[in-house]
Amino acid sequence: MSKDELASILKVTVRTITNYVRRGALPAPVKVGRKALWRRATIERLLESLDCEGALQLQANAIGKALAEERLLSGE
């Protein structure tokens, strides 16, 4: 599945998918030619392993890390 499809399933932006991959919250995509794709089975297993609380924690962790990075960059 494409990054757009994955973002739609997770109800997040494409940029959030990029951030999740960079932080290790999502597996890296498989390159097929010039395209970056995720295996549907891999994402389905990930979603099955997360309950509602786990999904919220995943998003909260990514938001927290982004805020911390912004603070570091701004010198706070």
48: its two tokens:
């099955």
pLDDT at 45: 82
Residue-number span of the structural domain to which 57 is assigned: 3-74
- Provide the domain count of the chain: 1
- Using CA atoms, how far apart are residues 63 and 51, in angstroms rounded to an integer? 19
Helix (H, G, I), strand (E, B) or coil at 32: strand
pLDDT at 51: 62
β-sheet bridge partners, residue 36: 31
Helix (H, G, I), strand (E, B) or coil at 38: coil
Model pTM above 0.75: no
36: its two tokens:
């970056």
pLDDT at 38: 94
Positions in the chain whose pLDDT score sits under 70: 50-64, 66-68, 70, 75-76
